[in-house]
Amino acid sequence: MRIACIGGGPAGLYFAISMKLRDPAHAIDLFERNRPDDTFGWGVVFSDQTVENLLANDPVSGAAIQSEFAHWDDIDVHIHDEAIRSSGHGFIGIGRKRLLAILQERARALGVNLHFQHEASADLDDWAGYDLVIAADGANSRLRDAYEPHFGVDIQIRRNKFFWFGTRKLFEAFTFAFEQTGAGWVWAHAYRFDDSHSTFIVEMDPDSWAGLGLDRMSQEDAIALCEHIFAKYLDGQKLISNAGHLPGPQAWLNFRRIVCANWAYRNLILLGDAAHTAHFSIGSGTKLALEDAIKLADVLNRPGLARDQALAEYQAERNLDVLKLQNSARNSTEWFETLGRYLHFEPIQFAYSLLTRSQRVSHENLRLRDKSWLESVERWFLSRALDRPVSAPAPPMFAPFRLRGLELANRVVVSPMAMYSAEEGEPCDFHLVHYGARAQGGAGLIYTEMTCVSPEGRITPGCAGIYTQAQVAAWGRIVDFVHAHSSAKFCLQLGHSGPKGSTKVGWEGYDVPLDSGNWPVMAASDVPWSEANQVPRPMGRADMDAVVAQFVAAVRRGLEAGFDMIELHAAHGYLLSSFITPLTNRRSDDYGGSLENRLRFPLEVFRAMRAAWPEERPMSVRISANDWMGDLGVTPDEAVEIGRAFAEAGADLIDVSAGQTWADCQPVYGRMFQTPFADQVRNDGRLTTMAVGNIYEPDHVNSILAAGRADLVALARPHLIDPMWTLRAAAQQDYRRVTVPPPYLGGMAQLARNLQREAELKA
Ligand SMILES: Cc1cc2nc3c(=O)[nH]c(=O)nc-3n(C[C@H](O)[C@H](O)[C@H](O)COP(=O)(O)OP(=O)(O)OC[C@H]3O[C@@H](n4cnc5c(N)ncnc54)[C@H](O)[C@@H]3O)c2cc1C
Ligand SMILES: Cc1cc2nc3c(=O)[nH]c(=O)nc-3n(C[C@H](O)[C@H](O)[C@H](O)COP(=O)(O)O)c2cc1C
């Protein structure tokens, strides 16, 4: 094949090498606009896995690269005049110039025609003599941009400013240094990449950048300012720029996150940064570029594979890796963009939060890397929970938690789950067994399903209620069992179905109206849940007064039944949620429009409930922190205000759920997908929060808690299948100080032993 490769960065060079290795008959011309040793940037970092891939693909260049690596294990986090060091992180770095020199030499030796100082045309017609044209021309790819509609290019310009410096100061640990200036926080990501240089990336938000005058400062002055800010780390060494040709402000970049729906058009193929980028804070752009090159060379040389099929396989496989990395990179980018959220943390928790920011590194990963550091975090967490020094570490999930006068034995919560198994709203033996088993399963707190405050406030005919004395007695029997046979505390979730009422039980079709016997429904406005659902009656003042009275009566009955805590359900599109989200609240009176107005009725209900519930017992509110409808609905920023408003009205805990407020919303699912909202409400709002949503491993729970992303963690579906989820988690972590029902002690001991033995065998 005759191939034109545009761009002599890692992607272009390594692709040319990989093609020649597979078939020396390929004629490859590589065009690079710069001279061989002109390059931007300083060092790049790799993982061990990438090195193995390089060695397998080309042992010659792989060995040359490997022999020049700088290795380091430690990460230092400098914050608030403290340095937190953790170890075992295992990074490898190399200078970008050196990497390119090795690849250039190898490409030349294999017969690739290298043309430097050659500005390549972005017009495919100028490349008519070639079978393939490879756009390896970087993030600002001109070839990609020339055919943009065919590639489906999506570019996001991220908000922070950064400058990629070098320095002769040798950082022996990967160093994150955060410094406060008069204009805001400025930080550096620094690491050594050879015997004489380190990379030193300075980053800050745009306000600090402008506040420091960097938007109008020459490069010389900007460098002097950065040297001054980071003087204590640089030991008198200078910061070196290799963007000297640019005016000062232009040398500061905004990261561009690039995603392409298609990676090939006609005979033009995107490779490396031209196809996708990954934020520098997770340092994987070069790895992706090199691995793209290997895969593309593989498929193009596989006998019998037509070109279209080859390109489809190239994109399908590489895109998976890219999406995973871009997901982690997005988390990491956002962490740095919302740094202010974490600056009130104590340094040890700040460092933990930084290390786990991408969500690729979890609590147990940190244990593998540096057990003694992780145990210092666990001791710190427990000592804060107990308010006294401790000598032994414990998994964060087993730290106790206090809400007003209520002491929870641990941080695991059984999330509210409708069982649709009540008759006339009355819980039965099914509920006794269901809640009894989950209470005995070790969670610190269990929630009832949404328990309705009136018959018409039920979602389905199978929903439980607490609007009759018979229901109080039935709940009382369950509460007594929970209190007598477990150390779990029991929270009653109270709600009213509003526009989503009068529907079938879950397993017969969610939110589908009954075949017969429907009752009228009401809501903030006459907006039905879907075309199939009833149009609700907009509530008038008399309806509101009646609903407030029903909630207050339910609170009194909950007290009579013996519950420890009450939650108001103001999420998921039910009655109170229909007021909060602008998607369903179309009112023009005092209860619609601004957030203050939309919250007026839900807060009225909450305040009346709070007044009826004993002072020493806590209350929580469940909210939908994101309608998943962009600015049309509730956004996580607005959720912070919602959380604050309920907290001011006396809520002790914000139970941060999301969605289910608009039938056509577009949630982005994934592991722990709603936890960022609990994090934001907690740390922007300085509130106590509970995270929920696809959290299923003990490792997830520990990571969320230790990183200060929430104070409690609720699991719903995992508890449906495994009522003993918490006891199993205790056995897995060899943690003994949990309450086990005495008859089950033997099972617990055996499980712990077996898991321990399995772990030893694996090790
Ligand atoms: C601040 C920062 C820090 C980073 N840190 C890391 C890190 O630690 N680890 C890591 O793996 N990655 C890192 N990266 C990312 C990494 O630099 C890129 O992902 C990687 O260089 C992509 O390789 P590439 O070959 O696709 O593109 P590039 O390296 O950008 O190469 C493209 C080449 O094409 C040339 N070119 C462009 N247009 C033309 C044209 N019309 N004619 C001829 N030549 C042209 C350019 O001169 C350039 O040499 C970092 C990036 C930044 C911005
Ligand atoms: C069967 C079932 C019933 C549920 N019923 C309720 C409910 O009554 N009240 C409520 O607030 N959330 C309810 N939820 C939502 C859960 O509390 C939880 O927020 C959601 O399932 C996400 O958590 P998970 O991924 O751990 O399941 C229910 C979930 C399930 C699976």
- Residue 208 has which token pair? 């600090």
Length of the chain: 763
pLDDT at 480: 98
Give φ, ψ of 398 to 5 degrees: -100, 10
pLDDT of residue 504: 96
164 lines ligand 1 (CB under 6 A): yes
Dist. CA 146 → ligand 1 center (Å): 19
* CA 351–ligand 1 middle distance (angstroms): 29
CB 692 within 8 A of CB 715: yes
List pLDDT tens digits, range 609-668: 999 999 999 999 999 999 999 999 999 999 999 999 999 999 999 999 999 999 999 898
CA 693 from centre of chain: 12
pTM, to two decimals: 0.94
The active-site residue, picked from 147, 233, 420, 574, is 574
Residue nearest to atom 18 of ligand 2 (CA): 716
Is 32 close to ligand 1, i.e. is its CB under 6 Å away? yes
Report d(CA 272, CA 293) in Å as an integer: 8
Element housing 704 (H / E): helix 698-706
Ligand 2, residue 719: give the atom nearest the CA: 26
Model confidence pLDDT, tens digit, residues 295-349: 999 999 999 999 999 999 999 999 999 999 998 999 999 999 999 999 999 999 9
Q: Which atom from ligand 2 is nearest to the alpha carbon of 657?
A: 19
Please tell me the number of the ligand nearest to residue 677's CA.
2
Q: Is 119 in the pocket of ligand 1 (CB under 6 A)?
A: yes
> Which of these, 611, 600, 636, 424, lies nearest to 524 by C-alpha position?
600
Angle of helix 541-561 versus helix 469-485 axis, rounded to 10: 40
Proximal ligand: closest to the CA of 284: 1
Residue 277 alpha carbon, nearest atom of ligand 1? 19
Ligand 1 atom nearest to CA at 287: 11
The position carrying tokens 């229901």 is: 471
Q: Ligand 1 centre from 113 Cα, in Å?
A: 20
Residue nearest to atom 45 of ligand 1 (CA): 7
Residues of the chain below pLDDT 50: none
574 is annotated as an active-site residue: yes
Distance between Cα 742 and ligand 2 center (Å): 30
- Cα(413) to ligand 2 centroid in Å equals 12
Contact (CB, 8 A) for 42 and 132: no
Pocket of ligand 2 (CB under 6 A): 415-418, 449-450, 493, 506, 569, 622, 657, 692-695, 715-718
| Per-residue pLDDT at 310 | 95
